[in-house]
Structure 1
Amino acid sequence: MNFEDTPQEAAFRAEARAFLSANAQPKTDTAPHQETEAEYILRAKAWQKLKADHGWACLSYPSEYGGRGATSMENIIWGQEEGKFDVPVGPYAIGLGMCGPTMIAYAGEEHLKERIPRMVEGVDIWCQLFSEPGAGSDLANLRTRCERDGDDWIINGQKIWTSGAHFCDWGILVTRSDPTAAKHKGLTFFFLDMKSPGVEIRPIKQISGDSNFNEVYFTDVRIPDHQRLGAVGDGWKVSLTTLMNERLAVGDAGGADAPHLLELAQRIMIDGEPAIKSRAVREKLATWHCEKAGLRNTKYRVMSALSQGKTPGPENSITKVVSASKLQDVSSFAIDLMDMGGVMLGREGQEELDGKLFHGSFLGAPGMRIAGGTDEILRNIIAERVLGLPQDVRVDKGIPFNEVEQGN
């Protein structure tokens, strides 16, 4: 692995850092500014527009659609540098990281010229309508139906866990068009206006108190055939394009990590001494420090491949499956370390910051272990495609979808 930037990459990094330093504030350990979701989205729109105006939005997109035609490595460098600043990027992560690349790969030129620049400039926010109550990890088991009606398709069904659907303008959607085909074969893919008649969005209340994702119901929703992506029945192929980009877009599970726990252990007292003096605490810190180093080197391996013009392999799944479980373990241990104070929120000063960081990470970690591929799915990918182990037995392989036995 090469840990150093090439001269061209170093120059690009310096240029990115100069723009960010001139237009944003570095991240700090102070309590975040409290704002409503609507205020956050407005701030995100303003930041996205500023980036677009200065050529820093959607770097890897073709220049004719508002991007920069940058390399994958330059895109990673930008993400590294932008991550050091307090800027609102969350509302656009799915649209720009997953929906945009899928549109560029499959949409017609008319739609690309109309939709992609609006996405790049932050005018439209997009979501991904994939998971269903009976088709989460096994996406091809989806049951949302589409039926041809002249130049339109009629959509009926339900999606779930759709992040940001309640504030999104457009979405990408995979549906079942032929129930008599094998489950991976009878799918068709679309993009649609989220304000279309018949689309109902119901936010889901999460354990953290937030409502970031939603149930979405489709009742006789009409989508013009010209908004179909890929051939009829070829929706699984289109979905794989989205899923490959999802693996890169999801990345690390952000939140509490070993350095935060180290700082906490220096302040928390156990039996009259700082917790850092406990062998048990130091053992945990050492384990998570090693995991952090392993994740860093795995990412360097991906970066080295991109820098050499290669395509990263499925080993990128390692990053999320390790970081999401580590996030849950670190935050759980920190809450235990704070003893009875660990279950309290809303206190003043440093204790309030501790509570927000570790509680937020602990309550958000289970969702991260599901989003972008569950732990089990990612472990199967690593086992089959990295380690070369045999595939899981699939009893429904090649069987028409309407003949596959469904669980009650």
Structure 2
Amino acid sequence: MTEREGITIDAASLRDRVRELLERHDPATTDRLEFLRARFDAGLAWVHFPVGLGGLDAPRELQSVVDAELAAAGAPDNDPRRIGIGLGMAAPTILRFGTPEQRTRFLRPLWTGEEVWCQLFSEPGAGSDLAAVGTRATRNGGGGGDWVVDGQKVWTSTAHTARWAILLARTDPDVPKHQGLTYFVCDMTDPGVEVRPLRQITGEAEFNEVFLTGVRIPDAHRLGAVGEGWRVAQATLMNERVAIGGRPVPREGGMVGVVARTWRERPEQRTPELHDRLLRLWVEAEAFRLAGIRLRQQLAAGSPGPEGSAMKLAFARLSQELSGLEVELLGADGLHYDDWSLRRPEIVDFTGRDAGYRYLRAKGNSIEGGTSEILRTIIAERVLGLPAEPRVDKDVAWKDLPK
């Protein structure tokens, strides 16, 4: 429970607000986009966000009350899987580091799904070592106006459908790599932005490489101070790992539910060894689910910390082991995979595709959102307090580093 301007915000008052929204905007007769905009304006999009920005300054955990009431009424959602990068990464970064004008401009169409976002972080020479990015942003004429950006990004999911991108670029090559970065919002429809598909092991192309040639970005689209891009990017990365590994799922939901169903439907494939593996993974998935609940409770007190890295690391391992077990349970049928067409999907659908797709796509889980190797280092240093790895490039100017 919380109080705002003398009004108590609790589960009961939120239900009243939902009922009022439904009375004014009947989901059965209201246009979907109109309903989503009205929900945002009523403060029922992110209840923990500030008033006027889709929220009510209420505790984060009360969001489930709103979602349950609206789902029961048959209200449309904002298709969160399609706009996951915007919801999970761009929005919390804009809220924390954006100006009032940036928050007002970007958050509402982001939440309603009118504008899709992507993430321009990784580069061919700066994947796991994100601070080594070489994409340059220079002041137009050296003054305080627009920035001109040149470089290449890679592994950019949904770039082919995105209107906006969160962009990390180097603005000062004369200082150590972590200090010379600045964070921007890039318009993907601007001249000089070229998106090319990257075919994956699944045969489709959900992500892309992006070439930036003389792209002009107004200084009003900078997030945070010049040279503080690494600090802003860290907030994005922590939220990204929670978004990937900390999503709420019901008991026996997600991949473990798919595999358990296959086990029940294929008694002829059961062996003691596969039974033991399924039991072990079921227990680990349940422990993972409960840890996710605890993590989301911690988020109510502030921004995510390195614990999100542990969740994302566990998610990747579980997803890969479970998808491998499913293929084995299917026997010869698990070897079938006939969808090799170059599709350009808007979402990654693990439960709506066949076992062959899940097995192949899960290989990317240990790379996207931070490689498992990097996450283990973060956990070792920031959670367990182990000695840091030697970093010989810490005090060397970026321009002097071997490329």
- Is the structural similarity TM-score above 0.5? yes
Q: CA offsets per residue over residues 39-89 of structure 1, 9 Å max, x none? A: xxxx99688557536643233332222334332323467679999999632
CA distance in 2, matches of 1:334, 1:83: 31
What does 1:363-402 correspond to in 2, within 5 Å?
Answer: 363-402=360-399
Question: Any idea what the Cα deviations from partners look like across 1:253-292, whole Å, max 9, x if unmatched?
Answer: 89863333233223325xxxx334x211111011101211
Distance of 2:218 and 2:387 partners within structure 1: 42
Name the residue aligned to 1:121.
112
Aligned residue for 1:64, secondary structure, equals: coil
Aligned to 1:335: 327
- Which aligned pairs between 1:50-61 and structure 2 lie closer than 5 A? 51-52=39-40, 55-61=43-49
Q: Does the 8 A contact of 1:247 with 1:317 survive in 2?
A: yes
Quote the residue 2:54 is aligned against.
66
CA contact (8 A) 2:11 2:62 kept: no
Q: d(CA) in 2 for partners of 1:15 and 1:362?
A: 45
Distance change in 2, residues 1:358/1:12 (3 Å): farther
Structure 2 letter corresponding to 1:112: R
2:52 alignment partner, SS class: helix
Which residue of the partner structure matches residue 3 of structure 1?
A: none
Residue matched to 2:280: 287
For 1:362 and 1:17, how far apart are their aligned partners in 2? Answer: 41
Aligned length: 370
SS at match of 2:82: helix
Instruction: Provide the C-alpha distance between the structure 1 equivalents of 2:37 and 2:111, rounded to a whole number of angstroms.
Output: 8
- Give 1:1-40 correspondences, 5 Å limit: none
- Post-superposition Cα deviations, 1:314-337, rounded to whole Å, max 9, x if no partner, equal 223222211211111111122122
1:186 offset after TM fit, Å?
A: 0.7
- Aligned identity (percent) is 39
1:198 Cα deviation after fit: 0.6
Q: Provide the alpha-carbon RMSD of the alignment.
A: 3.5
Q: CA deviation at 1:201?
A: 0.8
Are 1:193 and 2:187 counterparts? yes
Matched residues in 1 for 2:49 and 2:283: separation?
Answer: 36
Distance 1:367 1:391 in 2: 27
Aligned-partner SS, 1:63: coil
TM-score by length of 1: 0.79
**Runs of 5+ unmatched residues, structure 1:** 1-7, 25-42, 348-352
Map 1:214-225 onto structure 2 (within 5 A): 214-225=208-219
Q: Does 1:99 align with 2:90?
A: yes
| Residue aligning to 1:143 | 134
Per-residue Cα deviation, 1:121-160 (whole angstroms, up to 9, x for no partner): 3322222211111111111010001111131111100011
Contact 1:107/1:229, CA 8 A, preserved across alignment: yes
Q: Decide whether the 8 Å contact of 1:171 with 1:192 is kept in 2.
A: yes
Q: What does 1:210-289 correspond to in 2, within 5 Å?
A: 210-252=204-246, 257-269=255-267, 274-276=268-270, 278-289=271-282
Verify: 1:321 aligned to 2:323, yes or no.
Answer: no
Q: 1:109 to 1:217 in 2, by over 3 A?
A: same
- Which stretch has the larger CA shift, 320-329 or 64-73? 64-73
Post-superposition offset of 1:211:
1.9
Quick one: distance in 2 between partners of 1:68 and 1:313?
24
**CA–CA distance in 2 between the matches of 1:227 and 1:366?**
35
- For the 8 Å contact 1:345–1:355, the answer to whether it is kept is no
* Paired residues of 1:336 and 1:342 also in contact (CA < 8 A): yes
Q: Is the 8 A contact 1:130 1:159 kept in 2?
A: yes
Is the CA contact (8 Å cut-off) linking 1:203 and 1:215 kept in structure 2?
yes
> Would the aligned equivalents of 2:337 and 2:357 in 1 still touch at CA under 8 Å?
no
Please tell me the residue identity of whatever aligns with 1:106: F
Contact 1:266 1:275 in 2 (8 A): no
Q: Give the counterpart letter for 2:334 in structure 1.
A: G
Q: Give the superposition deviation at 1:10.
A: 6.2
Q: Say whether the 8 Å CA contact 2:43–2:51 is kept in structure 1.
A: no
- Name the CA shift for 1:281/1:174 in 2 (closer, same or farther; >3 Å): same
Superposition deviation, residue 213 in structure 1: 1.3
Q: State the alpha-carbon separation in 2 of the partners of residues 228 and 393 from structure 1.
A: 32
Structure 1 contact 153–223 (Cα < 8 Å) conserved: yes
The answer on whether the counterparts of 2:192 and 2:212 sit within 8 Å (CA) in structure 1 is yes
Helix, strand or coil for the counterpart of 2:189?
coil
Q: Tell me the equivalent position of 1:31.
A: none
Tell me the TM-score normalised to structure 2 length: 0.80
Q: Post-superposition shift, 1:217?
A: 0.6
Q: SS in structure 2 opposite 1:289?
A: helix
